[in-house]
Amino acid sequence: LADSRIEENQVKELNQLSISYNKMLGRLSHAFETQRQFTANAAHELRTPLALMQVQLDLYNSTRHPDNDAETLQTIKMVTEQNDRLGKMVKTLLDMSEFQTVSRDEKIIVDALVDEVLADLEPLAQEKDITLIGKCESITMMGSDVLIYRLVYNLVENAIRYNHLGGQVTVTACRKEQKVCLSVSDTGSGIPENLRERVFEPFFRVDKSRSRELGGVGLGLALAREIVRVHEGSITVRPNPSGGTIFDVTFTQGSI
- Please say which residue, 191 or 249, places its beta carbon nearer to ligand ADP: 191
Report how far residue 183's alpha carbon sits from residue 125's, in angstroms, rounded to the nearest whole number. Answer: 18
CB of 193 to ligand ADP, least distance (A): 13
Enumerate the H helices of the chain as residue ranges.
2-62, 70-97, 110-127, 145-161, 208-213, 220-230
Point out which residues pair with 143 in neighbouring strands: 106
Which 7-66 positions form the footprint of ligand ADP (CB under 6 A)? none
**141 binding ligand ADP? (CB under 6 A):** no
Cβ proximity of 184 and 159 under 8 Å = yes
Give the residue, chosen from 159, 181, 227, 235, that forms a contact with ligand ADP under the rule CB under 6 A.
159
**186 binding ligand ADP? (CB under 6 A):** yes
Closest CA to 146 of 212, 231, 74, 20: 231
**197 binding ligand ADP? (CB under 6 A):** no
**218 binding ligand ADP? (CB under 6 A):** yes
**153 binding ligand ADP? (CB under 6 A):** no
Please choose, out of 54-62, 124-132, 206-214, 248-256, the segment that lies near ligand ADP by the rule CB under 6 A.
206-214
Cβ proximity of 110 and 173 under 8 Å = yes
Report how far residue 149's alpha carbon sits from residue 162's, in angstroms, rounded to the nearest whole number. Answer: 20
Give the residue, chosen from 92, 168, 245, 255, that forms a contact with ligand ADP under the rule CB under 6 A.
245
Please choose, out of 22-30, 108-116, 133-141, 187-195, the segment that lies near ligand ADP by the rule CB under 6 A.
187-195
- Please say which residue, 54 or 189, places its beta carbon nearer to ligand ADP: 189
Sign of CA dihedral 157, 163, 168, 171: negative
Give the residue, chosen from 132, 171, 173, 221, that forms a contact with ligand ADP under the rule CB under 6 A.
221
Report how far residue 106's alpha carbon sits from residue 140's, in angstroms, rounded to the nearest whole number. Answer: 10
